């Protein structure tokens, strides 16, 4: 019997997979527990449409991430920080400071997507921003004395 899995079944299939299983396994275990449903033509077509919609969405999101990465390539963020007499910062510049500076420029990025440690020195720093799977932008952050 061919079934469409509605949930992950360890060692057998993942959610959304279409597999041929023994009739008794399907009737006695998978179907009563709502782990799978019979694979009819209508349900297979619906599953295929869902996969195509997910692929279109994934493509759209990846393209938006690439456009954002392209726009971030030319952006430089200047962050003012308090500095002591020896040129060391009081505290550090954090990812939240960078996100706030980008927000003032009209660019909205999630704080968790910045791959940086706290910046503790003056000057230019390259900060990688992970926008989407396979799409990473490099942002130049300049820490200047206030």
Please state the CATH superfamily assignment of the domain spanning residues 69-145 in this structure. Ribosomal protein L9, C-terminal domain (3.10.430.100)
The Cα–Cα gap between 134 and 130 comes to 8
pLDDT one digit per residue (tens) for the chain, 146 residues: 999 999 999 999 999 999 999 999 999 999 999 999 999 999 999 999 999 999 999 999 999 999 988 988 888 999 999 988 877 888 899 999 999 999 999 888 889 999 999 898 899 999 999 999 989 999 999 999 98
> With b meaning 16 or more CB within 10 Å and e meaning fewer, what string describes 15-29?
eeeebebeeeebeee
Residue 7 falls in which region: left (phi positive, over 0), alpha (psi -120 to 50) or beta: beta
Whole-prediction pTM: 0.67
Please state the CATH superfamily assignment of the domain spanning residues 2-64 in this structure. Ribosomal protein L9, N-terminal domain (3.40.5.10)
Per DSSP, the three-state class of 2 is: strand
Which residues on adjacent β-strands are paired with residue 78? 142
Q: What are the residue boundaries of the structural domains of the chain, listed by start?
A: 2-64, 69-145
């Amino acid at each position: 019997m061919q079934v469409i899995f509605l949930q992950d079944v360890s060692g057998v299939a993942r959610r959304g997979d279409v597999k041929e299983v023994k009739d008794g396994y399907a009737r006695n275990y998978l179907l009563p527990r709502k782990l799978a449903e019979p694979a009819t033509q209508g349900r297979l077509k619906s599953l295929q449409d869902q996969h195509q919609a997910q692929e279109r969405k994934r493509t759209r999101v990846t393209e938006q991430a690439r456009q954002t990465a392209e726009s971030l390539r030319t952006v430089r963020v200047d962050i003012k920080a308090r500095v002591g007499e020896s040129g060391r910062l009081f505290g550090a510049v954090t990812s939240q400071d960078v996100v706030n500076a980008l927000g003032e420029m009209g660019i909205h990025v999630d704080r968790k997507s910045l791959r940086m440690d706290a910046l503790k020195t003056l000057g230019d720093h390259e900060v990688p921003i992970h926008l989407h799977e396979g799409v990473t932008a490099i942002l130049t952050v300049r820490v200047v004395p206030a």
